[in-house]
Amino acid sequence: MSSNDVLLGLVVVTALGFDFTNGFHDTGNAMATSIATGALPPRVAVAISGVLNLVGAFLSFSVAATIASGLVQTHLVTLTVVFAGLVGGILWNLATWYLGIPSSSSHALIGGVVGSTIAAAGGHAVQWHGLVSKVILPAVLSPVIAGGIAIVGTYLVYRITDKVVERVRGRGFRIGQIGSASMVSLAHGTNDAQKTMGIITLALIANGTLHSAAKAPYWVIISCAIAISLGTYIGGWRVIRALGKGLVEIESPQGMAAESSSAAVILLSSFFGYSLSTTHVATGSILGSGVGKKGAEVRWSVAGRMATAWVLTLPSAGIVGALAYYAAHGIGGVTGVVVIFVVLVLAAAGFYLRSRKGAVTASNVNTEWTGSVAPPAIPATAAA
Amino acid sequence: MNSWINLTALWKIIVIGLLAGAGLPAVFAIGLRALNPGAQAQTAAGVDADGNEISSAPTVTGGVAGIAAATLCFAIVLAGIGWGIYSIVHNS
């Protein structure tokens, strides 16, 4: 086994690790509203979402190194660059998950890879035009469009059903909500699992294992599909809680309007070749469903916190990616990558242990929002 | 269309997005309303003298025409979902 094989192996493992964080970070995009309204029990919701992500990952095979092509000069990308980029993406995902902020996993990944590419080859290796037109502009527009559609949808469903008996309305929309949330899960699997498939393919190309126009090998598709669906099933309860309870007090008609808007915008955008962030779309939609309902409480401070994180995602993941590259490159060779890998594992363990304090779980995800992700402590008797 | 933003795609996303993302929930809502028009039916069956909902209130109060209209609405919504799945698969 050559040192290059070790390097490639670490990159693949790290990429699958990223895919896993992508899964649990984004469970809330599809399921937060269904969990918040009680349309689905939390455990069932994440299980459905996990399965649909798995199915979604197999639905589409247009996989190439798409995530990087058009954003960076792919011939300048080495295995260490890909690895450092993934480190940036994972650490940003873990930090935002810990804080309960639904930030974009795609942006974290792109930011990390762009940052490590700049560190390795300089600013000219980045295709800035592609970055602005394919990543930044869609990121600014998509939550606004999704939010607008959700406002219209929410307004319409409340107007149309204002005389329907509440019990019937609630039950009907809970069913509609499950259907529309399932569509979002499916679209998420199709979109996001592909991003990691693209990254692993890019690593295989950088390693010379595959030629530059190759498609993702089957084992890559299968392992990415499994990683993202396992991550989804684990459930990012902190983010689910922030989206479902923190942003808007949500009812099932709003939930259905929000998820329908998300599904429509995500599917249409990928139809037109924009691979946008499901997170931005879902957050915009949920916010819109709050604006569209008369008298609904929208916590703009929570929304503002999320928007700030979105702006910071690309540069922050980029800086971490660049630092990871400098460190790995400075130590040199496989040793450098192994050292950074160990640091990454320790950091991930640290975030996990920190999160156990004031943990958000399936049993307390819906507790009344009191201004923080960590739910208020429940007396032991009540919690059981 | 300029090099920064594809305006053709943008307006299509907005228009079709509105039709599918807001239109389909609205059609679904019309279906629910057809099943259970509420108001007058409510006093008959769904609500007691004080205006409180009775938990045994029938789900369907819209009659045969209501059921037919609701079926049509739900069929449209299902067709929309089918189109969505088709677009995922076809896109690959």
**Closest C-alpha among A307, A289, A273, A306 to residue A146:** A289
Per-residue confidence band for A208, with pLDDT thresholds at 50, 70 and 90? confident
The pLDDT of residue A350 is 92
In a domain, B45, yes or no: no
In this complex, the residue of A132, A156, A176 whose CB is nearest that of residue B22 is: A156
pTM (two decimals): 0.87
> Which of B14, B21, B89 is opposite residue A153, by nearest beta carbon?
B21
B92 touches chain A (CB under 8 A): yes
Domain range for residue B12?
7-38+60-90
- B72 CB neighbour count, 10 Å cutoff: 13
For residue B47, being part of any structural domain is answered with no
The size of the A-B interface in CB pairs under 8 A is 148
- What are the chain B neighbours of A263 within 8 Å (beta carbons)? 21, 84
Asked, for residue B69, whether it belongs to a domain, the answer is: yes
Give A291-328 as a 3 state SS string: HCCCCCCECHHHHHHHHHHHHHHHHHHHHHHHHHHHHH
- For A5-27, give the DSSP string: HHHHHHHHHHHHHHHHHHHHHHH
Look at residues A93, A102, A360, A49 and name the one whose alpha carbon lies nearest to residue A233: A49
How far, in whole angstroms, is CA A353 from its chain's centroid? Answer: 21
What is the tens place of the pLDDT at every residue in A222-236? 999 999 999 999 878
In-domain check, residue B49 = no
Q: What's the total number of domains in chain B? A: 1
Q: Is-contact A101 A311, C-beta < 8 A?
A: no
Picking from B16, B17, B32, the nearest residue to A169 by CB comes out as B32
B66 in a structural domain: yes
A218 touches B: beta carbon within 8 Å: no
The answer to the question of residue B77 being in a domain is: yes
Give a yes or no: residue B32 inside a domain.
yes
The interface pTM score, or ipTM, of the predicted complex is 0.83
Whether residue A66 has pLDDT greater than 70 = no
Within-domain flag for B81? yes
Task: Report the interhelical angle of A278-291 vs A166-206 (nearest 10°).
Answer: 160
**Can you tell me the distance from the alpha carbon of A240 to that of A200, in angstroms, rounded to the nearest whole number?**
28
Q: Rounded distance, CA A198 to CA A178, Å?
A: 30
Give A175's pLDDT tier (boundaries 50, 70, 90). very high
pLDDT in tens, B45-89: 445 555 555 555 566 777 888 899 999 999 999 999 898 888 777
Which residue in B15, B27, B28 has the most chain A C-beta atoms within 10 A of its own C-beta, making it the best mutation to test that interface?
A: B28
